[in-house]
């Protein structure tokens, strides 16, 4: 949902004007896709990629942004109200107390988040690349090194597509990625750890939309053109697929 919403906004930002059906589609996407799981509402800020001229002027633009924000927030509050009892039962900590701490001591919460980044960034990265099962089936170390080395290939423009975001758009994509990371952290901190804990229990897969936004902020930067770029990209994907299947087969045989 988060990735589809990102793609949808990027598509809309390239249109000369937004039709009523486009506006309705974005409103529905904001209300539903950003509420699949808590913490992804910050993606609504991506709508700032759309320009006032596309919506018919500044007044309509402000109304458009406000409507999307209210749609996302409104559905979230409805879901929270309908599931509040179950959420309290399943929570390890006390969500109101956790959220109160975040609101009253934002710098303290950011300090906890930063300490988790320093301690767990490598683990999150490996989980994002792939640790199968319940994070119990690791791939060979050479595979992770391969992905990290081959990753920049995906940031190089390898076809004749027009990818020329303005610096403002790139900065916004990166900023929303950071904001998304923080809001995911708030959502996780509210429910999972014990009250007052100094750790946040991230899983690497939660960060997929964050990695996407950070990569998009760099995608299409003019690197030196390389021959057979598409062949390289396809080769990288094939190696990744073969390694994943090979690891799974070996585990099941064991």
Predicted TM-score (pTM) of this structure: 0.77
* 121-124-126-132 Cα dihedral, nearest 10 degrees: 160
- Rounded to whole angstroms, the Cα distance separating 225 from 150 reads 16
Predicted pLDDT at 90: 53
131 forms beta bridges with 138
Contact 15, 48 (CB under 8 A): no
- Give tens-digit pLDDT for 82-119: 876 655 555 555 677 888 888 888 998 999 899 999 89
Lowest mean pLDDT among 7-21, 139-153, 164-178: 139-153
- Rounded to whole angstroms, the Cα distance separating 30 from 82 reads 19
H/E run at residue 251: helix 229-253
132 forms beta bridges with 137
Residue 21 has which token pair? 């059906």
Predicted pLDDT at 8: 94
Query: Which of 218, 223, 220, 208 is CA-nearest to residue 170?
Result: 218
- Give tens-digit pLDDT for 185-208: 998 888 776 656 778 888 888 898
């Amino acid at each position: 949902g988060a990735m589809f919403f990102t793609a949808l906004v990027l598509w809309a930002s390239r249109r000369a004007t937004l039709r009523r059906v486009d506006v309705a589609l974005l409103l529905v996407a904001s209300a539903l896709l950003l509420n699949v799981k808590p913490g992804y509402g910050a993606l609504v800020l991506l709508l700032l990629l759309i320009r006032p001229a596309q919506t018919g002027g500044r007044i309509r633009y402000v109304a458009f942004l406000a409507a999307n924000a209210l749609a996302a927030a409104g559905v979230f509050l409805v879901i929270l109200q309908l599931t509040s009892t179950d959420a309290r039962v399943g929570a390890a900590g006390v969500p109101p107390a956790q959220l109160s701490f975040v609101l009253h001591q934002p710098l303290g919460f950011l300090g906890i988040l930063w300490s988790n980044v320093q301690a767990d960034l490598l683990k999150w990265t490996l989980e994002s690349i792939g640790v199968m099962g319940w994070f119990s089936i690791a791939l060979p170390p050479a595979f992770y090194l391969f992905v990290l080395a081959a990753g920049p290939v995906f940031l190089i423009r390898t076809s004749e597509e027009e990818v020329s975001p303005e610096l403002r758009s790139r900065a916004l994509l990166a900023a929303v990625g950071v904001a998304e990371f923080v809001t995911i952290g708030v959502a996780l901190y509210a429910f999972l750890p014990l009250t007052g804990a100094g750790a946040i229990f991230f899983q690497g897969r939660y960060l997929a939309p964050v990695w996407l936004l950070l990569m998009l902020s760099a995608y299409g930067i003019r690197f030196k053109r390389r021959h057979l770029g598409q062949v390289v990209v396809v080769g990288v994907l094939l190696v990744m697929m073969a390694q994943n299947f090979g690891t799974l087969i070996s585990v099941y045989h064991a």
